Structures are given as C-alpha cells and as structure tokens.
Structure 1
Amino acid sequence: MAEPKFTPAHGVASHDEATLASDGTHNYGPNGVAPNGGAGGYQGGGGPMARFITPGGHPMDTSQPAFPVFHRKFANPAPLGLISFAATTFLLSLFNVSARGITTPNVIMGMALGYGGLVQLIAGIEEWACGNTFGATAFSSYGGFWISFATFYIPQFGVTTAYEDPEMLENALGLYLVTWAIVTFIFFLACLRSSIALVALFFFLDVTFWLLAAGALAPSTNAHKAGGAFGILTAAIAAYTSLAGMLTKDTSHFLIPVGNLSRAK
C-alpha cells in the first residue's frame, strides 16, 4: 500500500522551496521568503517551518500515536450511548435484585441524571448530526427515560409524595414501566435488520420492562427481582455492543462480532 502523501500547508515553505547555501544552511529569498513565493523560515537562514497536511485536509499530528487522527466530521457516538446505558442499567438492576442487601436505590439518581441521562442524550443528539435516525431516536429516548426516572427520587419534584395511597403509587409506576415496554418493543421491531447483538439488546430490555411492570402492578417481589436479573443481562449485551463499536482495525488487535443482519453487502 502506498504511503499517504503529505503536503505543506498553504503559505508555508517546504524543504524543496529552499536552496542550500555553501555553508549547508537553507537559503531563503529576501526577507526570509522562499524562492517559490511561500513564507520561508527565519530571516538569515533559519530552518524551514513545514506544517504537514493529511489527505483529509487537517494538520498532521503525531504527538499522540495512541490516538490516531481520523478525518471525519463526527466520531461514532453509538458506543458512548450504549456504554452509558449499560452502566446505569447494570447499577439499577443490582439494586432490583437486592444485591448486598440494598433495597433503597436512591444512589442511582446521580448515575441516572449524569451518565444514563445527560451523556446518552448527548449521544442521541450526535446521532442526529451523523444522520442516524434510529440511533438518534433510541439514545435520546432512553436518555429522557433516565432523567425522568431520576425525578422520582428528587423530593423537590414531589412525584412520589403526591400519592398518599402506596398501592396507587405502585400502579402508577407499573403503568410508567408498561409505557416504556411498549416504546422498547417499537425499537425492537425497528432494529430487526441491524445486528443480532442489537436485536438481543432490545428483546431482553423489553422483557426487563415487562417483568418490572408486573412486579409493580401485581405486586410481586419475584417478578421485580426477575426484572433485575434480566436487566443485568441486558446491560451485559449493551456493554458488549459498545465494545464492538470501539474496536476497530486501526485501534485494536482484535474485533468482536455482532452478527450483521443488514441487507447491505
């Protein structure tokens, strides 16, 4: 494969534009201007000041070889949205199965607002800019879900305190979860031609919502814990899919499959 050709930036002299004086120094024209009209080095024979440009039209930067310079308008926001969803779902699901005897999940509020909510919403906005309608709709929706979920634990919003009857509160939360189960099923239908990993993610997420809804409406502690268990599985799939998006031939020694279902060849 031929090496990419880097050219000096406009108005900056290269080695070819300067001539060598008898003492071995670069000889620029009057006032330090290169013979071909480019802006030369220092007046009096200083070294050339070449700034190399990549084929993408950006300044070449090799100061951080571990972070290659990619010449595109936007990076892929999907791994960010997936990993933020995975981490927040994993933490809440641990609380739902009463891990370590924890039955009060208020710690999830910060995670839901910051990582699962704000960061995932940003990923959704970036997907809009990249032209990915499905990713934009999904990430923005679940970013909104986590923000709305966090409000249940913020006293100033008065969501839970508005219900004097605990049974009515459980029914309201159950219907809230049913709504998100329906939304998730719509996303499940929309991603059937994407990848096995993404289809599995939305399938198990939908099962999670239905089980949590049943746990609130029945009410049933077993259904609630089962929803937490499926939530942990869902988080693992989301983390796997996120990792698959971050591993590329340019930055990794290996790739992991996601099971492409797209019709595109």
Structure 2
Amino acid sequence: MPAESRHSTPFTTSPQIAVMAVGEEREPVIVIDRATGWLDRLRDAAAAAGAAFAAADTIGSHYPGLLAPAPVAYLDGLVRFALPLIAAHFGTGAVMPARARGNFSLVTLPGEALSAEQRVPHVDAADRMQFAAVHYLSDSPDGTGFFRHRATGYETIDPDRLPAYRAALDAELAALPAGGYMDEDDARFVRTAAVAAKPDRLILYRAALLHSGLISRLPRDAADPRAGRLTGNLFLQCRTVAA
C-alpha cells in the first residue's frame, strides 16, 4: 500500500489511512485501520440487537446472511468520516450526502446454500456516485476481494456498461457449476486485489466496483454477533457540492 496519511475523524482514535489503486481501472480502495475505537461498543450493540437480526432475503437483499439496524450515531459518524475521503481520493471534488443507509451484517449461509448470484462478484449499485464501506468488527480474517469480469473486461459497472455486462453474466449464471463462495480467479472473473479483515479496519470503495466477501469458512455459531463474521456496512449516495 502507499504511505499512510492522517485524517480527522468523528470517532475516538487516530486512524491509519492507505489508498490502493485496484486493477487495470486503478479504482481507489481506501483502507483505514484503527478506524473508530468503538469496537467493544459496536460488538455490544450488535449483540444487544438479538432478534432484530433478520434474513437478508426477507428484506430484498442478496446478502448471504442476517442484517440488523446499527446505531444512528455510528452510521452518522461513518458518513462524516467518509465524505472528505471521497472528495480527496475519488475525483469527485467536494460532496455531500444525498442518501445513506447502513446496518450490521452476519454471514450465515453455507457455500452449498448460495444462489448462483451469490456465488459470483457483484456491485452494490451501477452508480459511480454511490460508495460502500465495510467495517470489520469480528476477529475473522475473511475480508473482501475485488474482481475483473473476463468476458467484458469490466471492473466497475455503470449505466452504460450494465446492459452488456448483464447479458454476459446472465449467460454465465445459467451455466454456472456447483460451488461456494468466490475467493480466487475462475473462468469468469479475475481477482485483482484483496483486503484481509482486521478488527476495526474499515474499507471504502465505489459501490460500482465488482467485489465479493472472501469467506473461507463459517464459525459454528455464525448467527451469534459475538462469534460470527460481524461487519458494519454503509451505502452512501453522494452529490457534488455546487461551486
């Protein structure tokens, strides 16, 4: 990674920030260690959520597990932390939030239970002004990988690219062999970069960047926030600030 930089934060620690340029498109992926200093607080909040965790597919998400609301103060802090990083590193200039949502997440689906869509990399939105953050809150080393689609050569998907990408991917999904979580290259995708999970590490990237969780195995108590692969997730739609 390039040399670390320092950045003001609404949280209670001094973060270490590094910027990766990923793949042939050289898309930024920002990696922040010691991101919040809130690790114990957030683990406690997730554990207290208990029955609020619900299967993602019941609320229209393809996430392979459970989702629960995260504290508003935490999500607000993530937004305020992310905005100047986006302005500095993604070529947008100054930005302000248009819409934000976030949650706690737990991976609970075993590989053999995944749908075809869940067994390939994905984008969160085909929108270059939407950004995603993953905040690793557990001790699991299972991080996040970034990918290039072989047939199209795309690493990011925007509205112009979406029709060709979707047509190629649909054909591939129809012939997808049995398998589990994506973690390495295969006949359809090349892994361009990977970030290991680490407690209180946060990564920030465009939601349009092809990515996948690198899930090596599920713990026995995968649905327990204190034992499973717990993350905080933010999806932030931005708009530029008028000069």
TM-score for both structures, normalised by structure 2 = 0.21
TM-score for both structures, normalised by structure 1 = 0.20
Structure ranking higher in strand proportion: 2
Radius of gyration: which is bigger? Answer: 1
Higher relative contact order (CA 8 A, sep 6+): 2
Structure ranking higher in helix proportion: 1
